[in-house]
Amino acid sequence: MQTAPRDAQLPVTREQGLEFLRQMLLIRRFEERAEQAYTEGKIGGFLHLYIGEEAIAVGAMAGLNADDDVVTHYRDHGYALARGIDPKNAMAELYGKATGICKGKGGSMHFADPKKHFWGGYAIVGGHIPLAVGLAFAAQYQNQPRVAVAIFGDGATNIGMFHESLNMAKVWNVPMIILVENNQYGMGTAVHRASAVPDMVTKALGYNIPAAQVDGNDVLAMRDAMMVAALKARRGEGPQFIEAKTYRFRGHSMGDPQRYRTKEEVEKMKARDPIVRFELQLVEHELATQDDFAFLRNDVDRVASEAVEFAETSPFPDPSELYSDVFAPEASNG
């Protein structure tokens, strides 16, 4: 087990640092607006908020190339935004509008944009992990220097598909990165009540896959861990595993009464807010000031408001959309 190297100097430029902060703030604001729209009845179904875990998506995506393949689970808004998906189309998807990233057919749990090599959020726990094995294999088969990343929670490490995937990824030595967000709970079940081992990295070692345990609330540590993993996978060292320790500030999804944890625990963990921490670091290292933060907060407020406005004023899908996209068009044979 390794831990990502930390530096006495903050290993980030002012521009990069402010960009990471902007993305984290945008995700948070986006989620808050989504939450608000949900309570107003404008968004239906399940809504899993990413608040508190922003540093993982932003750091991890920053450590990848634009053509690396990403699949994630239903808590997917943060990754979509960090991957550069327009918040307008993301919000419109939540509203089920025609301008949504998936034309309103996927909803919160199923964002995707293959142009950004963001192959989707998947709502069956663990069901997307094998897809990343296949994406990584496709890169290997075609001699392309891409890596494929599968992202999911601690809870998903207990399902069979996780184990089948890690094993075959190692046997085939494919350039796959397994990123586990250990936010301490799978719905209302604490890790120790569901997993035989408390540290997810232990499970990787069982498959002889190198594993790093990272502070998931530290955006730079996340970026570094992903860069190291991607470098190794890209140069043929096979699958790599990252466990990001974090905490989800909100319920599992909307309407979760959170009987499984105390308010005190949540408050204590909120003291480790990844955004506040990063702001402090930036100030401490004299890379940014409170004015910068105020500017960024204003900026993401505007972007999130525009996204809501866009979603609200967009039309619902044409009724013909109900019937389209069941089968892809067939090319003529020959």
Partner 1 sequence: MAEKSYRDAIKDALREEMKRDERVFIMGEEVGVWGGTYAVTRGLHDEFGDKRVRDTPIAEAVIVGAAIGAAMGGLRPVAELMTINFSLVAIDQIVNNASKMYYMFGGQFNCPVVIRTPAGWGQLAATHSQSFEAWYASLPGLIVAMPGTPYDAKGLLKSALRSNNPVMFIEHARLYGVTGQVPDGEYFVPFGKSDVKRAGKDVTIVTYSRMLHVSLAAAAKLAQEGIEAEVIDLRTLRPLDMNPVIESVKKTHRALIVEEDWVSCGMGAEIVARIAKDAFDYLDAPVERLGAIEVPMPYSKPLELMALPEEKHVIAAVKQMIA
175 binds partner 1 per the rule CB under 8 A: no
134 binds ligand TPP per the rule CB under 6 A: no
Query: How many chain residues bind ligand TPP (CB under 6 A)?
Result: 15
Helices 14-39 & 274-284 angle (0-180, nearest 10): 160
* Spacing of C-alpha 156 from chain mean position: 14
CB 10 within 8 A of CB 287: yes
From CA 266, how far away is CA 253, in angstroms rounded? 15
DSSP code string of 224-276: HHHHHHHHHIIIII--EEEEEE---SS-SSTT---TTS-HHHHHHHHTT-HHH
181 binds partner 1 per the rule CB under 8 A: no
Among 63, 120, 155, 239, binds ligand TPP (CB under 6 A): 155
- Candidates 123-131, 137-145, 203-211, 274-282: pick the segment binding ligand TPP (CB under 6 A): 123-131
Region 163-182 residues binding ligand TPP, contact defined as CB under 6 A: 181
From CA 313, how far away is CA 251, in angstroms rounded? 29
CB of 117 to partner 1, least distance (A): 10
75 binds ligand TPP per the rule CB under 6 A: yes
77 binds ligand TPP per the rule CB under 6 A: no
The amino acid at 168: M
Nearer to ligand TPP, 28 or 252 (CB): 252
- Tokens encoding 151: 């992202």
252 binds ligand TPP per the rule CB under 6 A: yes
From CA 236, how far away is CA 273, in angstroms rounded? 36
- Candidates 120-128, 221-229, 259-267, 319-327: pick the segment binding ligand TPP (CB under 6 A): 120-128
Residues 6+ apart with CB under 8 A from 98: 92, 104, 314, 315, 316, 317, 318, 321
148 binds partner 1 per the rule CB under 8 A: yes
From CA 73, how far away is CA 57, in angstroms rounded? 12
Write the binding mask 33 to 72 for partner 1: x where contact by CB under 8 A, - elsewhere: ------------------------------------x-x-
87 makes contact, choosing from partner 1, ligand TPP, none, with CB < 5 to 8 Å by partner type, with none
From CA 108, how far away is CA 232, in angstroms rounded? 33
327 binds partner 1 per the rule CB under 8 A: yes
Among 14, 42, 110, 232, binds partner 1 (CB under 8 A): 110
187 makes contact, choosing from partner 1, ligand TPP, none, with CB < 5 to 8 Å by partner type, with ligand TPP
CB of 271 to partner 1, least distance (A): 38
CB of 301 to ligand TPP, least distance (A): 26
209 binds partner 1 per the rule CB under 8 A: no
329 makes contact, choosing from partner 1, ligand TPP, none, with CB < 5 to 8 Å by partner type, with partner 1
DSSP code string of 33-101: HHHHHHHTTSS-S-----TT-HHHHHHHHHTS-TTSEEEEES--HHHHHHTT--HHHHHHHHTT-TTST
Among 1, 171, 187, 231, binds ligand TPP (CB under 6 A): 187
Tell me the sheet residues that pair with 190.
185
Among 106, 153, 210, 238, binds ligand TPP (CB under 6 A): 153
From CA 192, how far away is CA 184, in angstroms rounded? 9
Chain contacts with partner 1 (rule: CB under 8 A) = 69, 71, 100-106, 110, 112-114, 119-120, 122, 124, 127-139, 141-142, 148, 160-161, 164-165, 167-168, 171-172, 324-331, 333
Chain contacts with ligand TPP (rule: CB under 6 A) = 75, 123-125, 152-156, 181, 183, 185-187, 252
